[in-house]
Amino acid sequence: MSTLPQPGAAEPLRIVPTAPRRHTPHTANIALVGVEQSFTTRQGPRLLALDNINLDIAAGEFVCIVGPSGCGKTSLLSLIAGLSFPSRGEVQLNTRPITGPGTDRILIFQEHGLFPWLTVGQNVEFGMKMKGVPRPERRQRVKYYLQLVKLSQFENSYVHQLSGGMRQRVAIARALATDPAILLMDEPFAALDAQTRDMLHDELERIWLETRCTIVFVTHNIRESVRLGDRVVLMTYRPGRIKAEFKVDMPRPRQIEDNNVAQLSARILNEMRAEIDKSVQAEFSR
Amino acid sequence: MRLDKLAKNILFYAVILGVWYGIARSHIWPPYLVPAPGDVYTALHDGFKDGSIWIGIRISMQRVVLGYLASVVLGFFLGLGISTSTFLEDTLGRLLTSLQSLPSICWLPLAILWFGLTDKAIYFVIIMGSLFSITMSMESSRAAIPRIIPMAGRNLGAKGLKLFWYVLLPASLPHLISGLKQGWAFAWRALISAEMIIISLGLGQLLMTGRDLNDMSQVVAILLIILVLGWAIDALVFRTIERKVARRWGLSVPA
C-alpha cells in the first residue's frame, strides 16, 4: 500500500481467498484398543455391537470402513466422535483416551444435519462461532470453504433451497470450517443419486488432498470405499469385528469405473458375502 | 385469484348485512333484542367519540399483553424444567396437561377470593388460562426436534446454554409458534371472561354494561370490536411470524 499503482495498470483482482491458517495441529492419531461396546435392548438381552476392535488410524489417512448394515460401523464413529463410550477397551486420540466430543473431530451424517433456520453461510460459520473465532476471520473462512465445495453463490440461500448433493457439500464445508483434524463420515452419500455421488467422490478426494485431514469414512458401498480410501477395513455382522483390511495402492485421482477399483472391490465383496448373508438372515428371521 | 376471494367475501358479508337489516326492519323482534345495523354503527360511533371504546381497548390490550408475556416467561422456565427432567415430566407435566383442560373462567372465583375484584385477579385468570398450554407447547416443541440437530450442534462445539440458545430454541421454533399462538387465544378469552365479572373498564366490562342497560346495540358493537381485535392480532402478529418461519425452513406456508 506504500506505492501507488501504475496509471492504467489494473489492480489484480483477488478472487480466490487464501487458505485460512490452521488452529489445530493436524497430527491426530486415532487408536482403538480392544474396544467392546454393548447395548441393553428393550427385550432384555445385551446386544454386543462391537467386539475386540483394534484399529490404528494415522494422521492424514483416508480410512474406509465397510460392512453390512448392523455391523456397528456407526457405533464405531460415534465412539471416535466422543458421543458415546466403549463398554470395554479404550478409544485414544494421540494416545490419550477420548473423553467427549470435540471440534477436532467432526461428524458428517447421512442426513446432512444442517440447521434449517440458518443460511448456508451461517451454517458454515456455526462451528467457528461456537469456538469464538472473531467475526472477520469467520467471514473469510466461510468464503474459503464455500468456494472449496463450489457453493459460493449459495451463501445466502436456505437449506431447503438446495439439492441433496449440495446439502452434503454444505455439511462438508461446515465440518471443515471448524478446522478439524479428523472428519468422521457416516454414509454421507448413501441417500444421493449415482451421478451426484460420483461428483462428490471427486470433490471429497480433492478437498482431502488439499486439507490433508484424517478421514474415517463409513459406507456399505464397497466400490465407494475402494474409490476413496487408502485402506478399507471390512467388518463382520453382529458382533462387529474387524474381518480383514485391504490396502488400496492406486494412484489418485481414481475413477469408480477403473478396472483396478473393480477388481479389488470384487475381492472385498467376496469376503463380505458371508456377512451380508448373516445380516439378511437375521433381518428375515425376525 | 386473490381478487376473486375478496369479491366472494364482500358478497358474503353484504348478504349477511342485508339479511340482518331485513330481520331488524321486519320488527318481528323488538330492537332491544335485534338492533338494526345502523343502531350498532351509532353505538360504535358514539363509543369511539366519547372515548369509552378507546379506553376499553387500551386497558384490555394492556392487560392481555402483560398477562400473556408473564405466561410466556413462566411457561418458558416451566417447559425447560419439564423437558430436562424426567421426574418433572412425569409429575408436573401430567398435572399441567390435566389442568390445561380446565376452562379458564373456573379460576375466577378463586382469583376473586384471593385478590378481590382487582386487576390482580384478572391477571391471575389470564395467566392461568394461557400458562399451561404455553408450557406444554414449549415442552412438546422440544420433543419434536429431530435427534440429529442437537447431535450436530454438540458435535460443532455447542453445549449447555449455547446449545440451548443457538440450536434447541431455533430448532423448536415452528412448533413453538403455533403453541404461542394458541396460548394467545387462550389469554384473550380468559381476559374477556374475567373482565365481564370484574368491573374494571375493559372491553369485557363494556359488554356487560350493554347488558345491564338493555342496550343490545352496544353489546353487538363491543362483540365486533373483540372479534376484530382477536383476529387482527392473530393475523398481523402470529400468522406473519408463522409465514416467515415457514418460508425460511421451506415448510408449506400455512394459509
Find the closest chain A residue to B152 by CA distance. Answer: A113
CA distance B230 to B253: 21
What is the interface size between A and B, counted as CB pairs within 8 Å? 63
Report pLDDT for B112. 92
Q: What is the pLDDT of residue A1?
A: 40
Q: What mean pLDDT is reported for chain A? A: 82
CA distances from A189 to A202, A224, A262, B138, B188 (A): 12, 9, 19, 35, 50
Say which DSSP state A38 is in.
E
Inter-chain residue contact B154 with A83, CB threshold 8 Å:
yes
The answer, for A84 touching chain B at a CB cutoff of 8 Å, is: no
**Over 60: is that where the pLDDT of A6 sits?**
no
CB contact under 8 A, B167 and A101: no
List the single residue in A107, A127, A158 with the smallest CB-CB distance to B157.
A127
User: A83 and B149: CB-CB below 8 Å?
Assistant: no
> For position A5, what pLDDT does the model report?
43
Q: What are phi and psi of A214, to 5 degrees?
A: -80, 135
Taking contacts as CB-CB distances below 8 angstroms, the residues of chain A near B250 are 116, 158-161
Query: Looking at the partner chain, which of A113, A127, A161 has a beta carbon nearest the beta carbon of B250?
Result: A161
Q: Alpha-carbon distance B113 to B128, whole Å?
A: 15
Whether B171 has its CB under 8 Å from any CB of chain A: the answer is yes
Cα–Cα distance for residue pair B116/A226, rounded to 1 Å: 79
Residue with cell 455447542: B158
Q: What is residue A165's predicted lDDT score, i.e. its pLDDT?
A: 85
Name the residue in chain B with its Cα closest to that of A118: B248
CA distance B83 to B139: 5
Q: State whether residue A89 is helix, strand or coil.
A: strand
> Is residue A91 within 8 Å of A30, Cβ to Cβ?
yes
Q: Using a CB–CB cutoff of 8 Å, tell me whether B250 touches chain A.
A: yes
Q: Please, what is the Cα angle at B51 between B50 and B56, to 5 degrees?
A: 135
Question: Are A115 and A123 within 8 A, CB to CB?
Answer: yes
Q: Return per-residue pLDDT of chain B as tens, 255 residues.
A: 577 889 999 999 999 999 999 999 898 888 888 899 999 999 999 999 998 999 999 999 999 999 999 999 999 888 888 877 888 888 988 898 888 888 888 999 999 999 988 899 999 999 999 999 999 888 888 888 888 898 889 888 888 888 888 998 889 888 888 889 999 999 999 999 999 988 788 899 888 888 888 889 999 999 999 999 999 998 899 989 888 888 888 776 544
Instruction: Determine the distance in angstroms separating the CA of B225 from the nearest CA of chain A, rounded to an integer.
Output: 37
Length of chain B measured in residues? 255
Whether A83 contacts chain B with CB within 8 A: yes
Bridge partners of A240, per DSSP, are: A50
Strands A242-247 and A231-235, by their bridges, are antiparallel
- For B156, which of A109, A130, A158 is closest by C-beta distance? A130
Q: Which of B148, B158, B166 sits opposite A113 (nearest CB)?
A: B148
Closest chain B residue to A111 measured between Cα atoms? B148
- Find the angle CA(B69)-CA(B70)-CA(B74) to the nearest 5 degrees: 115
Contact A83 B173 (CB under 8 A): no
B154: nearest CA in chain A?
A: A101
Nearest CA in chain A to B170: A117
Confidence band of A3 (pLDDT split at 50, 70, 90)? very low
- Taking an 8 Å cut-off on Cβ atoms, the answer to whether B248 and A174 are in contact is no
Identify the pLDDT of residue A44.
65
> Model confidence at A26, in pLDDT bands (50, 70, 90)?
low
B248–A117 C-beta distance less than 8 A: yes
Query: Which domains occur in chain B, in start order?
Result: 40-249 (1.10.3720.10)
**Spans of all domains in chain A:** 26-39+49-100+216-286
Instruction: Note the pLDDT of residue B253.
Output: 54
Distance CA A93, CA A27 (A): 10
Instruction: Calculate mean pLDDT across residues A196-225.
Output: 88
Q: What share of chain A is helix, strand, coil (3-state, %, to 5)?
A: 35, 25, 40
Q: A111: which chain B residues are within 8 Å (Cβ-Cβ)? A: 146, 148
Quick one: average pLDDT of A236-254? 85
Q: What is the pLDDT of residues A63-110, one digit of tens each?
A: 999 988 767 888 888 889 888 888 888 888 888 888 888 878 888 887
- What is the per-residue pLDDT across B47-78, written as a single tens digit (0 to 9) for each? 999 989 999 999 999 999 999 999 999 998 88
What residues of chain B lie within 8 A of the CB of A163, using their CB?
Answer: none
Write out residues 153-172 of A within 8 Å (CB-CB) of B.
Answer: 158-161
Rg (CA), chain B: 22
In a 3-state reduction of DSSP, which class is residue A123? helix
User: What is the pLDDT, as a whole number, of residue B67?
Assistant: 95
pLDDT score of A17 more than 90: no
The set of cell numbers assigned to A110 is 447421512
- Looking at domain A26-39+49-100+216-286, its CATH class is alpha beta
Contact B155 A107 (CB under 8 A): yes
Interface membership of A120 toward B (CB under 8 Å)? no
Ordered alpha helix ranges (H), chain A: 73-81, 120-131, 135-148, 164-177, 194-211, 222-228, 259-284
CA distances from A48 to A159, A250, B5 (A): 37, 35, 63
CA distance A253 to A272: 26
Per the CB < 8 Å rule, is B151 touching A161?
Answer: no
Residues in A touching B149 (Cβ below 8 Å): 113, 115
Is residue A266 a contact partner of residue A96, using CB atoms and an 8 Å limit?
Answer: no
CA atoms within 13 Å, Cβ hemisphere of A275: 24
